[in-house]
Amino acid sequence: MVEKIASNLYRIEVPLPRNPLKAINSYVITGADRNLVVDTGLNREECKNALQSGFAEIGLDLAKTDFLLTHMHADHSALASSLIVPGRKAYASRRDAITINTFSGSDIDAHWNALRDYAVLQGFPQEILFLAVEKHPGNMYRPEHRLDFDYLTDGEVIHVADYDFQCIFTPGHTRGHVCLYEPNQKILISGDHILGDITPNISQWIEDEDALAVYFASLDKVAQLDVAMVLPGHRSIFKDCQGRINELKEHHSHRLGEVMRIIQDNGPLNAYEIAEHMTWDMRGIWADFPVPQKWFAHGEAIAHIKYLQKKGWVVSLQTEDKPVRYSAT
């Protein structure tokens, strides 16, 4: 499905079968000298067919088309290497570009091992750990090959057609997430930093980080921009950027309150047990959630716990026992 949004600017809805996100938005900007595709899809047939028929409908010449990936998640990035013509540019932040290339590189086992070790330390059950990695979209639908990326810098301007897109570094959803802002048209291509109909997942998989605090700072950064239209990575285009930023902040402060109460009432608990107690926008009970959803929920729980820990409201218990358990101060 192709939708014309503005002059030389299109949205292609790329389906994500059996994925709660349902679809991902790929944005296409067409110019006389070159075109730009922002985000792609998973490296699977359904995504490739949808994107290629969208390209055909627009009349896109891939020989003149560059690709920009807002972040490293496979639903946005993995298909790019199958579509890009050799010699054309692939843009991403340095941080996320390196991770995208890890998925089709020889260092992939080390990547998953580090994630697995941290998940176990945070209480993820050994019995479903294998399945969580095996069924992870980043593993199942990884890129065909590595890309020779041009690394974006914060504030850099990408000129296509009549558009001047400023790269706005917005870490949080991933550590190298980038939004594109067009100040003349007041358009924000927001990737997964700001979504309208659903809440972006904020996960943490590294001890020495505060993903949620970083995400809040990136929301404040985008709140400074004069935005008339948000083109998100998933679901519908919307207008009220400022209003949505406020809702997302409210959502996470409500979530932090919930996690705090769970720890106060039931602690000490490990992060996986805390995730089990939290409310999720999924049908059915926790035990019936698909393993990949348990994995994403666990990551989100860790991000909220770590935020509370950095604030000094939660402590991790210093014992030899693994996994790490948390209690309220």
Residues at the contact surface with Zn ion, assessed by CB under 5 A: 73, 192
Tokens 């009349």 found at: 59
CB count within 10 Å of CB 312 equals 8
CA angle 134, 139, 144 (to 5 degrees): 145
Smallest separation, CB 44 to Zn ion (Å)? 16
Tokens 């067009």 found at: 182
Coil, strand, or helix at residue 2?
strand
Which C-beta is closer to Zn ion: that of 73 or that of 255? 73
Q: From its phi and psi, is residue 123 left (phi > 0), alpha (psi between -120 and 50) or beta?
A: left
The answer to whether 275 and 263 have CB atoms below 8 angstroms apart is no
Smallest separation, CB 75 to Zn ion (Å)? 6
Tokens 């950095």 found at: 310
Cα 73 to chain centroid, rounded:
5
The answer to whether 38 and 26 have CB atoms below 8 angstroms apart is yes
Smallest separation, CB 154 to Zn ion (Å)? 19
Which C-beta is closer to Zn ion: that of 41 or that of 267? 41
Give the type of residue at 233. Answer: G
Which C-beta is closer to Zn ion: that of 280 or that of 313? 280
Which C-beta is closer to Zn ion: that of 66 or that of 192? 192
The CB-side HSE value for 2 (13 A sphere, CA atoms) comes to: 19
Smallest separation, CB 114 to Zn ion (Å)? 19
Smallest separation, CB 70 to Zn ion (Å)? 8
The CB-side HSE value for 198 (13 A sphere, CA atoms) comes to: 18
Smallest separation, CB 9 to Zn ion (Å)? 21
Smallest separation, CB 76 to Zn ion (Å)? 6
Contacts of 266 (CB under 8 A, 6+ apart): 273, 277
Element (H, E) at 167: strand 163-169
Smallest separation, CB 265 to Zn ion (Å)? 32
Which C-beta is closer to Zn ion: that of 39 or that of 66? 39
CA–CA separation, 115 and 34 (whole Å)? 39
Element (H, E) at 252: helix 241-266
Which C-beta is closer to Zn ion: that of 19 or that of 329? 19
Which C-beta is closer to Zn ion: that of 111 or that of 277? 111
Which C-beta is closer to Zn ion: that of 35 or that of 190? 190
